[in-house]
Amino acid sequence: MATNTATEAANRRAGNAANPVADFGRPSRSVAATLPVVAIGIALAGLFARVMTYPIRHDEQIYLPVGVLFGQGDLYRDHGFNNLPNFPILVRLTLAASGSEHLLLTGRLIVLAGWVTAVSAIAVFAARATRDRWAGVLAALLLLTNPVLLGQTGMLATNNFLPMPFAILGTVLFLTAFDRSSPRSGLLLAAGFCVAVAAGFKANYVFLVVPLAVAAIMVPRHTKTIERLARVTLPFAAGGILGALPTLAYLMSDPDAFLAHVIRYHRGPHIAYWLHNPDLDGTKVMTLAGKLAMAAQVWGGGGTILVTTVIVALAGVGRRHRAAAQAPPAWPIILVLALILGAMALSFAPTPAFPQYYTAPIPFGIILLVLLYARLPSDTRAKIRFWTAAALTVPVLLSLPRLALALPSLVQSKTWTVYRVHAAGGVLADLVRSNGGRTGPIATLAPIYPMEGGLAVYPALAAGPLVYRVGELIPQGDRKYYDRRISPETIERLLVKTPPAALLVGLEGKLDAPLISYANTHGYHRVDSVIWRDRYGTARLYVKPKGSPRGS
């Protein structure tokens, strides 16, 4: 990474004195120390409000309940989970440490903590690399206001956003480890750990591994091979092994089940289900042409195209204004470019495609922008600082209203989605107790609601509709790895064997039909009260009155 010499610093001060709009239009020193904190603080406040009020989505019914039940049965064979284990482990640890009974609130706070980590990492890195706190503020705001990240990707309590802060942290720690005369092994250990943790949330983040591993073997070039191995390669590898331990434990203890759920599920029954239901909850993108169109929309929309334009401009300016002999090492640029290309390539792997699959390159574009800007001579930076800042402020200003609109809800916590969902769980529990008070699990494909009310759910349905909807599409050879395989065709056998205390239906469309049929034929009656209403439907509760035979 580039650092300013004493001469460059003097030139910068001289340039600032001659140019009042230099240094991003820097304010007077009396407020310069507080304005960055205020700017990011306001944006984070808006982000907090948006996360707390964002509507609940289907994916949260899959990820959060499995985290609650983590350790109560096998993650894959019993609960049918189909991703790497870090998210349910983190949810379980957080609930255990906090003692909270607010499931959705806990999940959303985990996501918010991820945001704070990502923003802090990229802000500190940018400020250190450029020696300009306003560059750090702008880098942080570019991430905070990215329109795609402010959608479902960055709001929901799933594994979509959480790999990103660890990916950012791992990358900037790796780069920072080489900003002194000798590599810092401790930072490289931490970098390897963060990279492995990121990949342990979502398999697509494996793109991090190869470029960083190659860099750990090859840089710094001036170091002897043995010293590089001891101070760079081995610490980075050791951190990676530590961070990958949860994934490695599952892979080594039951490799066949692990691969059936994490790999073959996504290549077989998952695709088959959406081919049979292409328009369910919106049209699904199944073809390469559709994926290319979605990628263009994500990468070319919002501020991403402006960031890309500035990156190209800075690269051109750098080539003209920095002599080869004075230029800092180019490997950080090459490394981040490789990460961007790897992230872009793997974005096309999942089918069907969703916008969140194309977000991984976004923070690396900001990191590349910082590196290119930091490489410029100080006098060149003084000349272009204002115009660079002005161009990058445009996407920030375009997206800030999405955060600002959520600010009024900060003083209306009763309207927050996280509290409304918890209250719905309490209403559900009260209705079950007042309408028969039967023991037993709640049969539902929306398990967050009964769990928020402290009620039990069927382990086979802990992941909501995840396994249930594809139960009959799972290949015969893989069914032995689903100890609690369930489907619309087999759900009645489970309910007859273990009758439910109540059934909660109405949010999963036609998938709820077998549950409603069971309720109607076994003496359950629909309660008039509405448990929940959202874009997916209206949640209704079926209970069996007191005195009715349990198994009838």
d(CA 341, CA 345): 6
Provide CB contacts within 8 A for 512, sequence distance 6+. 445, 505, 506
Burial letters for 495-512: b for 16+ Cβ neighbours within 10 Å, e otherwise?
beeebbbbbbbbbbeebb
The DSSP element (H or E) to which 398 belongs, if any, is helix 378-404
HSE-CB for 453 with a 13 A CA cutoff: 24
pTM of the model: 0.88
Provide CB contacts within 8 A for 527, sequence distance 6+. 431, 435, 540, 541, 542, 543
Provide CB contacts within 8 A for 340, sequence distance 6+. 361, 364, 365, 368
Walk along the chain (552 residues) and give the pLDDT tens digit of each residue. 444 444 444 454 444 444 433 444 444 555 556 766 777 888 899 999 999 999 999 899 999 999 999 989 999 999 999 999 999 999 999 999 999 999 999 999 999 999 999 999 999 999 999 888 888 988 999 999 898 999 999 999 999 999 999 999 999 999 999 988 889 999 999 999 999 999 999 999 999 999 999 999 998 888 888 999 999 999 999 999 999 999 999 999 999 999 999 999 999 999 999 888 877 777 788 899 999 999 988 888 766 766 777 777 777 666 665 554 466 788 999 999 999 999 999 999 999 998 899 999 999 999 998 998 888 887 777 788 877 777 787 888 888 888 888 899 998 888 999 999 999 999 999 999 888 767 889 999 999 999 999 999 999 999 999 999 999 999 999 999 999 999 999 999 999 999 999 999 999 989 999 999 999 999 899 998 888 888 888 999 999 876 555 555
d(CA 341, CA 215): 15
Backbone angles phi, psi at 543, to 5 degrees: -130, 165
Q: Are 91 and 114 in contact (CB under 8 A)?
A: no
HSE-CB for 510 with a 13 A CA cutoff: 5
SS3 435: coil
Domain boundaries defined on the chain: 6-406, 418-543
Backbone angles phi, psi at 246, to 5 degrees: -60, -45
